[in-house]
Amino acid sequence: MQTTSDLNPRSLPVAELHLHIEGTLEPELIFALAERNGIELPYRDLDELRERYEFTDLQSFLDLYYANMAVLRTEEDFADMTRAYLARAATAGVRHAEIMMDPQAHLSRGVSLETCVNGVASVLAQSEEEFGISTMLIAAFLRDLSEESALEVLEALLAMGAPIGAIGLDSAEVGNPPSKFVRLYDRAREAGLRLTAHAGEEGPASYVVDSLDLLGVERIDHGIRCLDDADLVERLVEDRIPLTVCPLSNVRLRAVDTLADHPLPAMLAAGLNVSVNSDDPAYFGGYVDDNFAQLEAVLGLSDFDKARLAANSIHSSFASDERKAELLAELNA
């Protein structure tokens, strides 16, 4: 029998800061939406789909992730996916969620901005009341596409009054450096948006440096490769730059060999401002609570460390000072 400590990870209030809503599409929902939309999937059944969840690197995952989005056609599809994530996240202790969406991945399939944004946003608007989870929507841009494409989509989002609070940068990292997106981040800053970017997942520590220096980001998504650069670590510690770490994702995409080799304990020991997040939970073997549980089981993460990670996630969020104070009080109780 498993014993429940006072700091059961399931009940620790956390902010989830690194989550792709399209990565919450569970196999069962993929089949249900395919049926509803009359889409023929290239897999006979759930087992055959699940056999594909064996990834060798980021790109091998992205190929399946983009392919499975084909089932998302209507506002209702986006709403159902979002509701399913929030319901599951609530049981994981998530009390605030900053949710990335990839508008370009839907536009390129002929799904309008209105459909994807309104579908997700309509559910986020009810989230605090329905699930006790405050939210922010982050428009993430695909770094393997051009900056012109990203700028065009950002302008369209601003013009339609999309309820986005921040921008991010995701997809294939290596070969698509931060320097490609300076004008995009300048425009987002001018529009009053908060700024984050994936860096140092598969790409080098220099992409973390350039995200800070060239893009002016406030937060780094992943960032585990920062450990290759001692000067960078010192700077990140000094400036309390948040790193949204995703342990199960790193194992499944082979950024680290096994969870036992994960650098999270070293990052904590170095004094880095790290949090634990699920990234694409339907693809990587679990939600935030599963990440915490496996870190505890494999790395012996202590209650003290868990509480620190939870506090870091709240401090590092883009929530209002009032909401942060509320969540910190809940954590301390």
Interaction site with Zn ion (CB under 5 A): 279
Element (H, E) at 17: strand 14-20
Query: Given candidates 280, 289, 290, 305, which one binds ligand HPA under the rule CB under 6 A?
Result: 280
Measuring CA to CA, which residue among 276, 282, 212, 201 is closest to residue 245?
Answer: 276
Counts for the chain of helices (H) and strands (E), in that order? 17, 8
Told to check if 170 binds ligand HPA by CB under 6 A, we report yes
Residues 114-153 that bind ligand HPA (CB under 6 A): none
Told to check if 249 binds ligand HPA by CB under 6 A, we report yes
Residue 140: CB minimum distance to ligand HPA, A: 7
Shorter beta-carbon distance to Zn ion: residue 102 or 279: 279
Residue 255: CB minimum distance to Zn ion, A: 11
Measuring CA to CA, which residue among 9, 6, 3 is closest to residue 288?
Answer: 9
Report whether 228 contacts 205 (CB < 8 A).
yes
Report whether 287 contacts 88 (CB < 8 A).
yes
Told to check if 77 binds ligand HPA by CB under 6 A, we report no
Residue 323: CB minimum distance to Zn ion, A: 23
Q: Which of ligand HPA, Zn ion, none does residue 23 bind to, with CB < 5 to 8 Å depending on kind?
A: ligand HPA
Shorter beta-carbon distance to ligand HPA: residue 12 or 166: 166
Shorter beta-carbon distance to ligand HPA: residue 147 or 303: 147
Q: Mention every residue, 6+ apart, whose C-beta is less than 8 A from residue 119.
A: 74, 75, 76, 77, 78, 79, 82
Tell me the CB-side half-sphere exposure of residue 274, using CA atoms within 13 A: 23
Q: Mention every residue, 6+ apart, whose C-beta is less than 8 A from residue 291.
A: 246, 247, 248, 276, 277, 278
Told to check if 171 binds ligand HPA by CB under 6 A, we report yes
CA distance 164 to 205: 28
Residue 21: CB minimum distance to ligand HPA, A: 10
The residues that bridge with 126 in the sheet, in sequence order, are none
Position of minimal CB gap to ligand HPA: 170
Measuring CA to CA, which residue among 91, 99, 77, 98 is closest to residue 131?
Answer: 91
Told to check if 305 binds ligand HPA by CB under 6 A, we report no
- The verdict on whether 201 is a catalytic residue reads yes
Told to check if 83 binds ligand HPA by CB under 6 A, we report no
Query: Which of 201, 202, 218, 326 is the catalytic position?
Result: 201
Shorter beta-carbon distance to ligand HPA: residue 187 or 222: 222
Told to check if 106 binds ligand HPA by CB under 6 A, we report no
Query: Given candidates 201, 210, 289, 305, which one binds ligand HPA under the rule CB under 6 A?
Result: 201
Query: Given candidates 88, 95, 96, 198, which one binds ligand HPA under the rule CB under 6 A?
Result: 198
Told to check if 313 binds ligand HPA by CB under 6 A, we report no
Report whether 217 contacts 196 (CB < 8 A).
yes
CA distance 57 to 326: 39
Tell the burial category of 174 from Cβ atoms under 10 Å away from its Cβ (0-12, 13-18, 19+).
Answer: middle
Residue 170: CB minimum distance to ligand HPA, A: 4
Catalytic residues: 201
**Which residues make up the interface to ligand HPA (CB under 6 A)?**
20, 23, 58, 65, 170-171, 198, 201, 249, 279-280
